[in-house]
Amino acid sequence: MKRLISTLSLGLLFSISLPFAANAQTKFIATAGTVAINGTSTLHDWEMSAQKPAVEAVFVQDASGALSSLNTLSFTLPAEALKSGKGPMDKNAYKALKTGANRNISFVASQASITPAGANAYLVKCTGKLTIAGTTRETDLQATCKLNADKSLQVSGSKKLKMTDYKVEPPSFAFGTVNTGDAINLIFNLTLKK
């Protein structure tokens, strides 16, 4: 009788644990990709870009490997990794970003949702804290994720921002004769691997 009870108890425990075992948390990190910021000025449009920011994301995958949820997401980029190819412009941008005291641009998600968007593709919506030039604001980010055949993730998206929301004074050049606009666009295209 005791053996029967033990066998039944073990079977019940296994059946309860099985659904949880079918889902696995998987950590992905960025191995390649670019982040770019572009905007306008009274002279011409401009862009600064950086390679391979530090990105770490923990997704939950079901038994088939499909993404079912996003548990954590963090993004860090040294502000001075952003380059325009024009030294004076970079120097003015770093001054506006106060990089002497605030080295990094970062985002940490507090909540996220995933919606299927086609074959092996997903729409990810996040809310979290974005820090630029030492000022942190809650914002939302949206990205498209594609699960590749090699199990890597291709992540792309963009976000419109205003410099002044983060206490960044839009830089000016040529003794104030060229002024940049307040509105900027943050664009990212990243490859994440386990």
Tens of pLDDT along 13-24?
Answer: 343 444 444 589
Q: Across the chain, what does the average pLDDT equal?
A: 89
Buried-exposed string 29-54: b where 16+ CB fall within 10 A, e elsewhere = ebeebebebebbbeeeebebebeebe
Task: Give the pLDDT score at 186.
Answer: 97
Interval 176-193 mean pLDDT: 93
Q: Where do the structural domains in the chain lie, given as residue ranges?
A: 22-193
Check pLDDT > 50 for residue 8. no
Q: List the helix and strand counts (H, then E) for the chain.
A: 2, 10
Task: Give the pLDDT score at 173.
Answer: 74
CA dihedral of 170, 175, 178, 184, whole degrees rounded to 10: -20
- In angstroms, the CA 15 to CA 182 distance is 57
Buried-exposed string 71-98: b where 16+ CB fall within 10 A, e elsewhere = eebebebebebbebeeeebeebbeebbb
Check pLDDT > 50 for residue 11. no
The backbone torsions φ and ψ at residue 42, rounded to the nearest 5 degrees and listed phi first, read -70, -10
Q: Read off the pTM.
A: 0.85
Q: What is the pLDDT of residues 112-135, one digit of tens each?
A: 999 999 999 999 999 999 999 999
Check pLDDT > 50 for residue 91. yes
How many other β-carbons are positioned within 10 Å of the β-carbon of residue 135? 13
CATH number of 22-193: 2.40.128.110
Contact by Cβ (8 Å): 169, 148: no
